[in-house]
Chains A and B, each alone.
Chain A
Amino acid sequence: MIVVVDYGVNNLRSVVRALAAGGHAAELTSDPARVRQATRLLVPGVGNFGQAARNLATSGLDDAIRTVAGAGRPVMGICLGLQLFFPSSEEAPGVNGLGLLPGTVRRFRVDLPIPHVGWAEVQLTPDGARHPMLGPLFQGELRHFYHVHSFHPADLPPGVALATADYGGPFPTLVGRNNVVGAQFHPEKSQRAGIDLLARFVAWQP
């Protein structure tokens, strides 16, 4: 069963709908026991890192997500959901994330309006082009995805950044390692490109 984790943030129903548009049923749940049984897991979300990390901890969803990731099953984070995969974020110093990916989350340091909002061109890195989930989707071309965020993944070790977008300089917007991937943008708001990306995640066998 594909499970979408509900931890009290907005924007969850649209992820389920975008999966359905690609032909895939998913269960939206806040029950850690159901999350543990997921064959495939999505962690979406919009909001504040500190608040969301506390929600995950008090509900026991943090351990459930770690269990699924630790078992090698495919796990995908979206926007704040992805940011929570890192051990920490500049948005909430001292608050622990899930630590599924190495690196951190930093605020944009650019002389441009923050948040970064809009359809940005996304370009695969060489690692992304070799990634079985991404290479066939992009087919060597840029694709546009809808971004809404003030923070982004940073300080990544080699191999983790799979794609970048540009906002006063490149920033990682698709990341992953082993069975864990994440998008800083919103596939569920990115029309065909996003529906296809989610379908690719469902078909992916890491």
Chain B
Amino acid sequence: MLARRIIPCLDVANGRVVKGVHFESLRDAGDPVAQAARYDAEGADELVFLDIAASHEARDTTLDMVSRVADTIFIPFTVGGGIRTVEDAARVLRAGADKVAVNTAAVRDPDLVRRLADSFGTQCVVAAVDVRRIGEGSAEEPSTRVFVTGGRDRTDLDGLEWMGRLEVLGAGEVLLTSMDRDGTRRGYDLELLAAASHRVRIPVIASGGAGRLEHLAEALNAGAHGVLAASIFHDQGCSLPEARAFLRERGFPVRP
């Protein structure tokens, strides 16, 4: 049986970890390498590093940071932000990442997902999907719109339909972020998670809204294979060992 994954996320801008609310109001949350080392020591199951500034000019700085983080940890490591081509992905993998996450580039060039899967295997390709609810839809089929460029630009894509397409194109997992819940600590969008887990067979990682340990359990119950969380771990409101113990007590298979 596969263990459910608890995945801390480092949102990095200009070499620092940052945290926002609804993708805005960013504030400093520390040094990426030091944070990565702490998460590894505490037993994180994976680590996600998203370069949310992702400017072309800063690419070498980011690669250097990716390589320093990779040298610090002994867990699977996903890197996203600014990956637009197979060559971009190859550079990130050579720097020490195990998987690459794509979002904006996949929307603009869906075939990129297929090319990445052909080049590196589907297990290497994480489709990051940022969505906001729109006023239609049902509890079973929540209507959302996909946002790109760090939440700035709305597209016409429906979240669930887009995830289905990403799976066909060759994504190995979906990192599904509810922008409505991002940074609010009100809990994940459980209806959306349940609908997404029914729509695709690839693992869905829940992101956006974790504020308490109960929220992690709710997301796994809704069908998520793993839970991504930033705020609750960055601010040391709770630790990864506490989260594992909490989930184990509730019967979820997690690593010791």
Contacts and interface: CB of A to CB of B under 8 A. Distances in A.
Contacts of B146: none
Contact of B75 (A116, A121, A189): A189
Interface string B176-208: 000000000000000000000000011100000
A69 to B, nearest CB: 27
Contacts of B74: 14, 17-18, 21, 188-192, 194-195
A148 B121 CA distance: 10
A191 B37 CA distance: 12
Given A21-B74, A118-B3, A119-B5, A191 B123 contact: no
Contacts of B2: 116, 118-120, 167
A111 to B, nearest CB: 10
B144 interface: no
B71 interface: yes
B1 A166 contact: yes
A117 B123 contact: yes
B1 A191 contact: no
B125 to A, nearest CB: 11
Nearest to A148: B123
A93 interface: no
Prevailing SS type, chain B contact patch: loop
A10 B76 contact: no
Contacts of A11: 98
A46 B256 CA distance: 27
A195 B73 CA distance: 11
A53 B43 CA distance: 35
Interface string A149-188: 0000000000000000011000000000000000000001
A126 B172 CA distance: 35
Contact of A115 (B71, B94, B123): B123
B220 interface: no
A113 B202 contact: yes
A191 B96 contact: no
A146 B98 CA distance: 12
A109 interface: no
Given A17-B71, A119-B45, A195-B74, A113 B201 contact: yes
Contact of A191 (B3, B5, B40, B225): B40
B120 to A, nearest CB: 8
A116 B201 CA distance: 12
Interface of B: 1-3, 5, 40, 43, 45, 70-71, 74-76, 93-94, 96, 98, 121-123, 172-173, 201-203, 225, 253, 255-256
Interface of A: 10-11, 13-14, 17-18, 21, 46, 113, 115-121, 144, 146, 148, 166-167, 188-192, 194-195
Given A117-B173, A119-B2, 12 more contacts: A10-B93, A14-B70, A17-B71, A18-B74, A113-B202, A116-B2, A117-B172, A118-B225, A120-B1, A144-B255, A146-B76, A166-B1
